[in-house]
Chains A and B, each alone.
Chain A
Amino acid sequence: MSKIPVQRVDLIFEKITCKEIFEKVLQSKPEEIIQSVIDSGLKGRGGAGFPTGLKWQFAAREKGADKYIVCNADEGEPGTFKDREILDEVPEKVFCGMAIASLAIGAKIGYIYLRGEYKFLVPKLENKLAEFQQLMQDLGHDFRIELRLGSGAYICGEESALFESIEGRRGEPRNKPPYPTKSGLFHKPTCINNVETLVYTVMIQKYGAMHFRELGTKDSRGSKVFSVSGDTPTAGIYELELGMSVREFVDVFGDGDTKAVQVGGAAGFCVPRKRFDETIIGFEGVPTGGSMKLFNSSRSMYNVLHNYLDFFAEESCGQCTPCRVGCQQLLKGIEAVKKGEKSHKYLDELVKLAATMKIAAKCGLGQSVGNAFSSIVENFKEEIIY
């Protein structure tokens, strides 16, 4: 991996002493902490990309003593596996990020919602958590973290579904607004951040907002941990500066025969070879929670799309009709076209259905099915039909 023209970064996995950083942060006012996160330009690393500093500011402005910090560790997007590695390698930095957030917004309790598939991490996390609680006690900061496990439901990565799950219910997303900073966990003001986002807030406190801001581009500041898989000789986890094109990415990670890259997982977009040069990986182009999946010319994009739709049809919570029925119909639809039971023109109807789901579905799951669907169907129509 010496020929890397894309900029490698080492912030997330850098071994640091959280005690020193937290002692420093304890000297700051909440507004100063929030301002530094705003100045850094950090946006949420789970995929949706909401400005982290603003989220903290909204939560800080809410009145009342009962507020929560939630770490979203329900990493379920196909092709994403970086949060597992972060929690395995540097759990204390995740806890430290939550503690910094608790200072910023004025919360006393934090929850980590870890997907059930990562239950094997629990003994290690509990050990590290005990050390962390001791540190909080020693430093005199009243903040406690509880660990909760998911049980195999992708939808619980959606923030309001995650709250429902912690509250002991079916993981069905709520209507928005109100947003979590106003009414989140137990209907109290809640600041929910992705694992990686929380670690970046620690590094921003360590090196300063400008250090982070200088990396990346105007729309996508900083760096990001990418989960690279599929047809690549170098699958794995890489922290890279934001702002590279898909072409630059493929030049490093491709196998020389890359025909498409799925950016952002099943809920993301398929970028075909002809668009590699013009497509920027970031909020100005194609955003991603980190999932980068490469496909070479031996792969059938029909099989890829079928796999994604099968995934969504199973993981749709079933609460709203556009998603519940839409996922099933898209899946049946491409099967019917493949078998020749429907003419290829039927694909246009299906694209319209996907567009309707984008408008009408209640949450991010149903709204994003059309991303992969339309970008694969439009760029690889022949493969879907024949």
Chain B
Amino acid sequence: MIINEELVKEAVKKHGSSRAALIPVLQELVAGKNYLSDLDMVEVAREMNLSAADVYGTATFYSFLDTRPRGKYVIRVCKTISCSMKGKNAILATIEETLKIKLGETTADRKFSLLETNCIGWCHKAPAILINDEPYTELTPKKVTEVLREYIKQ
């Protein structure tokens, strides 16, 4: 919990405590620890002189500001039309099989979370996924297995 407070203080110091800094602060926290806990949001509210409800209301509006524990690597599989047409289901099934988790779940070692997301802007190179900020495109089950293997090694 002490670590949380420090992270929040650092983020607020970096981005400032004006209202416009709220989303950059929350983004910084998510980038650092992959999700926002209730305590994080209470702490942000205290540091930025906002109500905790306001911080929670803002955070939960944005799908990339996760308020549930996630793994170190968040895999987002694009489910919008082009990716869906070009074999997204096979990619999803391969990831589930490789990591032994279902959609929405996190591996026991807290390394990977598997989610779906809406269009990520790679329709001409479908199917595509994001692993944290990194896009991977023109995937096949074989290719996605290789990508995952690299992450598993890390």
- Name A residues whose Cβ lies closer than 8 Å to a Cβ of B: 75-81, 84, 115-120, 148-154, 165-172, 186, 227-231, 235-237, 266, 293, 299, 303-304, 307-308, 311, 314-315, 317
Contact = CB atoms under 8 A, between A and B. Distances in A.
B21 A168 contact: yes
A187 B85 CA distance: 42
B20 interface: yes
A152 B63 contact: yes
The 3 A-B residue pairs whose C-beta atoms are closest, nearest first, are A151-B62, A152-B64, A229-B123
Contact of B124 (A115, A154, A229, A308): A229
Interface stretch (B2-10, B127-135, B145-153): B127-135
Nearest to A291: B123
A235 B128 CA distance: 14
B62 A168 contact: no
Interface size bucket, B side?
Answer: 35 or more
B124 A235 contact: yes
Interface stretch (B94-102, B103-111, B113-121): B113-121
Given A168-B20, A168-B23, A170-B58, 13 more contacts: A78-B80, A148-B23, A148-B24, A149-B24, A149-B27, A151-B65, A152-B62, A152-B64, A153-B61, A227-B124, A230-B85, A311-B118, A314-B118
B140 interface: no
Nearest to A304: B81
A199 to B, nearest CB: 17
Contact of A78 (B22, B65, B82): B82
B123 A79 contact: yes
Contact of A315 (B81, B118, B121): B118
A91 B136 CA distance: 22
A196 B21 CA distance: 27
A299 B81 CA distance: 11
B126 interface: yes
A120 B63 contact: no
Interface in B60-89: 61-65, 79-82, 84-85
Contacts of A79: 81-82, 119, 123
B138 to A, nearest CB: 10
B142 interface: no
A78 B124 contact: no
Nearest to A118: B121
A299 B85 contact: yes
A78 B23 contact: no
Given A151-B63, A153-B63, A230-B85, A165 B121 contact: no
Contact of B123 (A165, A172, A235): A235
